[in-house]
Amino acid sequence: MHEMSLAMDMTRIIGEALGRKAPLERVNITIGPLSGISAESLRFCFTEIARMEGFGEPELVINHTEARLLCLECRTEYEVADFYQGCPECGSISRRILSGREFTVDSVEIDEDSE
């Protein structure tokens, strides 16, 4: 259950960026398929932690990216969320990972009226 400590890191990052605590309407994050994060468990933990830490009940909007891969057989670049899938051009699973590990807090939206 490391999503609980990650949710705490998220509220710490948000608090530092805002310089204060405020009820949030929406929190936008990005998760890659190689981040090792369970989106559902993060959503559950973040909802709890945000409320406890004084950030209200924001909607957590998750942008799920795919991993970018470079086929080492035919040099095609392709994207997958599932690593059982091989190269769409030649079928090979010989490849290098270019991205897919991201886990970022992108932005937050505050509804000033509700403060």
Partner 1 sequence: MCEETSAKQKVEISESVMSKNDRFAAENRKILRGRGLYTLNLISSPGAGKTTVLESMARYFGGRMAVIEGDIQTRRDAERIERAGCQAWQIETGGACHLDAHAVNHALGHMDLDSDELSLLAIENVGNLICPSGYDLGEDMRIGLLSVPEGDDKVLKYPSLFSTVDVLIINKMDLIPHLDFDVDRAIEECRSLNPDVNVFTVSARTGEGMEEFCGFVESGFLRNTG
Q: Does 40 bind partner 1 (CB under 8 A)?
A: no
Rounded to whole angstroms, how far apart are CA atoms 28 and 107?
5
Which of 23, 34, 39, 78 binds partner 1 (CB under 8 A)? It is: 34
Q: Does 6 bind partner 1 (CB under 8 A)?
A: yes
Nearer to Zn ion, 22 or 87 (CB): 87
Q: What are 43's two structure tokens?
A: 């959503």
The string of DSSP letters for 26-59 reads: EEEEEE-TTS---HHHHHHHHHHHHHHTT----E
Q: Does 62 bind partner 1 (CB under 8 A)?
A: no
Supply the minimum distance, in Å, between the C-beta of residue 109 and partner 1: 5
Task: Count residues near partner 1 (CB under 8 A).
Answer: 40
